[in-house]
Structure 1
Amino acid sequence: MSEENNNLGDDLKKGAEDALDGAKDAAKKATEKAGDFAEEAKETAEEFVEEVKETFGSDNGENKKVLAGILGIVLGAFGVHKFILGYNKEGFILLGIFIAGFILSCFLIGYLFVWVPGVIGLIEGIIYLTKSDDEFYQTYQVGKKPWF
């Protein structure tokens, strides 16, 4: 029985060594695969960053034009389109007129103040969207024309 236990002990020892070698090989392969995956992910991220820079970092102002135009039409009363273009003073003026009109709406004069900034935003949004990209960029981003 003692020899049987020795053979069993040797078999277990050999099995444990084989399992350890297999685990080391698997870990090595997993490390290589993870390194390859990390390298591919890094390359993909760099390509994505370049693509975003090309799309949103362009000098023609196209993306600000579309964003400012749509926000001017939809949220023009709040002056959001002015804030997008960097005209904070004008944005606060539109927002202030809207808020004052909302507060004064219990008196009939307040309704005039509520819709005026909305109409201004609607008109400006349409103007922004109908201008060419270069004309929009030169007028509103380089020339800093704040109204219409």
Structure 2
Amino acid sequence: MKALSPVDQLFLWLEKRQQPMHVGGLQLFSFPEDAGPKYVSELARQMRDYCHPVAPFNQRLTRRLGQYYWTEDKQFDIDHHFRHEALPKPGRIRELLSLISAEHSNLLDRERPMWEAHLIEGIRGRQFALYYKIHHSVMDG
């Protein structure tokens, strides 16, 4: 068990439904020129096969005597953290941003490692996106 720093604990104490303490990123990619129509599905399969992360991505919170600690998540489930999704048609940036807005508004589950990654296909112009979010207490510590 590793204790969180006072600053990282502050991120947890200050977090509210209306004030999440996670950060996110959105990256937009074009298909490689020689990529087939199942390129993103194959990429998702390869990413899902990597299901043994190392710290801090396999660490979950525990609390003892009012103090937060990081411990290894012995029941790590890649399907909770990695999601392969498709945009509804017509697959414009508007639909992408709507999806990201909805996902970003959800708090991260403190019973699991506090990060998510979303591989998103169905974007016009043979594009796909990667959206991820991670809690400040994981990233800044």
| TM interval, short-chain normalised | under 0.3
Structure with the higher strand share, 1 or 2: 2
Bigger RCO (CA 8 Å, 6+ sep): 2
Structure 1 or 2: more helix by fraction: 1
Could you tell me the TM-score, scaled by structure 2's length? 0.26
Structure number, greater radius of gyration: 1
**Length-normalised TM-score, structure 1:** 0.25
